[in-house]
Structure 1
């Protein structure tokens, strides 16, 4: 079967529901990428395309393990390398590579392969998808996150608030991509573990100063089962511009 951009867009919109004040995605796509990875720019471009779809929370997680090849990634966080490895430990294949996407915290695919990404989205949705509706709003110098009562968080789930830069263009000076300028979309700039949610109806208030918003203009909220060292499925998500 041949997969086209139109087909992917239609599939990503299958579960579309009522509009929210903020973006209420149906799928979370995390792209593990690096400025020092020659095969990553096509995946970065595909993620930029996906980031335009309100049904998808497409996030760039820059890793640091390619820094030794001659260029230190200016957006990388070591925690992203650890998160990618932790994901791999939960899967039978145990593979860690760039560009790699993880969909809804469960399904891995090559980040530059449109057809593989499409299959990963369908597989993740067939496994239950994002069952928890998440509301996030701006209230002066804070954000408020509202979660309904839900059995999906049985055993507890981490509630994360991540400052995000919606667009970052980097002129890469050396390494495998030396001389190229690459635009990255929805770049995650940090992780704040707001709470361990037990599935009860709750509202959390997070001061913006706690987000550490350097270079960020938005916030992504993730509700994820498991733990940082053993991440499970993402069961809820939302995205809110802060500017």
Structure 2
């Protein structure tokens, strides 16, 4: 039964990736500047992607461009490389079963298919990650919303770990604290699969993902293991507070990781 289920999932991924490729061509060729007129809201953009998916590189390139255009606006981009494409000919070096699990968790709430590239905004809305029109609409809406809480983060690197200090102010002071360590840039030469022969440029690669219960007063400290290859100059920390029931994200922030070594 498990093998049949996986085969069905792969078939759905291939089918939806084909339609995503059409969206890529329609929207990426426009190259229109994004509208970042906003209130005091924020936008957490979670992209589920894979080096084994031919429709994913355009989506990643689009989000990298959006991040540059956003400047200092509170736009937080995380690219999760899922592992279910690995069985189809190429193992994505950045992939993790944890990221696939997170995508399945989201899709149980959206009751949608699991596919790549899938983009989720503030845990509330999902659509094809290369659909620039949908990104424009949802990003503008998120930034114009009134933020009810703010999250401040501080990361301190130690010998084998990182200590995360956080403070949530406003309402609600509840939810789950999510901490992602993000590699800002990466390059891979793909030798098999749908992207065989291509050199892929990646941005905002989630390399480690941790969740913690939020302290009742909204502030505290947590310790996470130092991942292999961590580089404080080329990585950053993005955190957010998420309702585990609905998936909705109520506050977000980011910081660099300082070192006392």
Q: Please give the range of the TM-score, normalised by the shorter of the 2 chains.
A: 0.7 to 0.9
Aligned residue for 1:190, secondary structure, equals strand
In structure 2, C-alpha distance between the alignment counterparts of 1:81 and 1:27, rounded to whole Å: 22
- From 103, 109, 112, the equivalent of 1:84 is 103
Correspondence 1:50 to 2:66: yes
Number of the residue aligned with 1:240: 255
Please identify which structure carries the higher helix content: 2
In 2, the alpha carbon distance for the partners of 1:44 and 1:140 equals: 29
Number of the residue aligned with 2:128? 110
| Bigger radius of gyration | 2
C-alpha deviation, 1:114, in angstroms: 0.6
Q: Which residue of 1 aligns with 2:49?
A: 33
Compared CA separation, residues 118 and 197, structure 1 to 2 (3 A): farther
Task: Call closer, same or farther: CA 1:164–1:140 in 2, change over 3 Å.
Answer: closer
Q: CA deviation at 1:231?
A: 5.3
User: Contact between 2:149 and 2:171, CA under 8 Å: does it hold in 1?
Assistant: no
1:145 counterpart residue number: 166
CA contact (8 A) 1:192 1:211 kept: no
Q: Deviations over 1:79-129 (max 9, x none)?
A: 11111111111124x222111100001100111111011223345567x57
Contact 2:156 / 2:257 at 8 angstroms: preserved in 1? no
Task: Pick closer, same or farther for the CA change 1:231–1:197 going to 2, 3 Å.
Answer: farther
Per the alignment, residue 189 of structure 1 pairs with 207
* Cα distance in 1 for residues equivalent to 2:103 and 2:192: 25
CA RMSD of aligned residues (A): 2.4
List gaps (5 residues or longer) in structure 2.
Answer: 1-26
Q: Could you tell me how far apart the structure 2 residues matched to 1:15 and 1:144 are?
A: 27
Give structure 1 stretches of 5+ with no counterpart: 17-24
Whether 1:74 aligns to 2:93 is: yes
SS across alignment from 1:47 = helix
Aligned length: 219
2:226 aligned with 1:212, yes or no? yes
Change (3 A) 1:108 1:129: farther
Partner of 1:20: none
Mapped partners of 1:211, 1:130: distance in 2: 31
In the alignment, the residues of structure 1 paired with residue 257 and residue 157 of structure 2 have an alpha-carbon distance, to the nearest angstrom, of 10
Distance 1:131 1:211, change over 3 A: farther
TM-score (normalizing by structure 2)? 0.75
Secondary structure of 1:5 counterpart: coil
User: Once the 2 structures are TM-superposed, how far is the Cα of residue 40 of structure 1 from its aligned partner?
Assistant: 0.7
Say if 2:82 and 2:99, in contact at 8 Å, map to a contact too.
yes
